A = this chain, B = another copy of it.
């Protein structure tokens, strides 16, 4: 393995590394023992590590994909990435990812935490697996209005209530529809104190829990009525690949506008950016393009995703050679020889 090392040097590196890592000797002890200076020992240890003389392997539990998570984190400048094990069945896959997300939440929540909760099948699956081992005095607040057209467990108020119940915290519901017919009605509802208070609380949350939607006709935005099938077709023709909280982006993460946004009662994408930890939960198989677009927008901090989607997203990013892509800043959407830009580090 370390072909570039002379035998003597290799032997010395191995001895010193063994003393340090196996025998738990300090660098000073080793220095004394080998007649070297302490900084010299430090350098030799560095060299031993770089040369592969020291092989550190983490025995992870089955199903834990630490290297894949690393790659996601690095590629998309994420605070964290959690990859759940693959399942052949969509429902089992959703549950596995929800379990991972629940575990993440259990670790991250502290007394006083505020979590803004979005709609979606993936976020909706989470409460069932959420069992904190202590009472957490936190707040779950709806980030979006509700819709009667989708299952109750998909609605933010129900998700918030269930999460609050299991943690011993409290739920703050948004008593408003997810969308209205005219922008004027939306503006009026948003100024109503009950709605405004809840949205303010959500906008000031520590953590946002969101799903990433696709642009197929079965997505939550269409099923809930926020978007018509025609409007969705139009978004697709404009290059939209996915959404978070109803805000669509293209493959490079640039926003794709649509009149439906003026009808939504939800956190805006600007609100979302201001939240310290935006957690996206994804388990559906048709989602890699949507996930890639949303990750490139830079709006997500933590991605909880199934392994097949994780691999597909990374493969997509590698194929188009743009890596994390370019943060949307307006443009023609032509996609012609756009150089790989940098994601704005909004956590500074």
Q: Using CB atoms and an 8 Å cutoff, list the residues of chain A in contact with chain B.
A: 1-2, 7-8, 10-12, 14-15, 17-18, 21-23, 33-35, 52-61, 64, 66, 70, 79-80, 103, 107-108, 110
Chain B contacts for A35, CB-based, 8 A: 107-108, 110
CB neighbours (8 Å) of A55 from chain B are 56-59
Contacts of A14 in B (CB 8 A): 58-61, 64, 66
In chain B, what residue has the closest Cβ to A103?
B8
Q: Is there contact, CB below 8 Å, between A56 and B56?
A: yes
Does A66 lie within 8 Å of B15, measured CB to CB?
yes
B61 close to A54 (CB less than 8 A): no
Whether the Cβ atoms of A53 and B64 lie closer than 8 Å is no
Give the distance in Å from the alpha carbon of A294 to the alpha carbon of B108 in the complex. Answer: 60
Of all A-B residue pairs in the complex, the 8 with the closest CB atoms, nearest first, are A14-B60, A55-B57, A18-B66, A21-B56, A18-B58, A10-B61, A17-B58, A53-B59
CB contact under 8 A between A22 and B66, given known A7-B61, A59-B14: yes
Q: How far is the CB of A30 from chain B (nearest CB, A)?
A: 11
When chains A and B are docked, how far (Å) is the Cα of A12 from the Cα of B66? 11
**A22/B60 in contact, CB under 8 A:** no
Known: A2-B59, A54-B57. 20 other contacts (CB 8 A): A8-B103, A11-B64, A11-B103, A14-B60, A14-B64, A15-B66, A17-B58, A18-B58, A18-B60, A18-B70, A22-B56, A33-B79, A35-B110, A52-B59, A53-B58, A54-B56, A54-B58, A54-B59, A55-B56, A56-B56
A301 to chain B, nearest CB (A): 11
Distance of A97 from chain B, by nearest CB (Å): 15
Smallest beta-carbon distance A267→chain B, Å: 23
For A107, give its contact among B2, B34, B57, B80 (CB under 8 Å): B34
How many angstroms between the C-alpha atoms of A35 and B136 in the bound complex?
14
- Smallest Cβ distance from A14 to chain B, in angstroms? 4
Q: How far is the CB of A10 from chain B (nearest CB, A)?
A: 5
A80–B19 CA distance with the chains assembled, in angstroms: 11
Q: Contact: A22 with B80, CB < 8 Å?
A: no
Cα A152 to Cα B110 in complex, Å, equals: 80
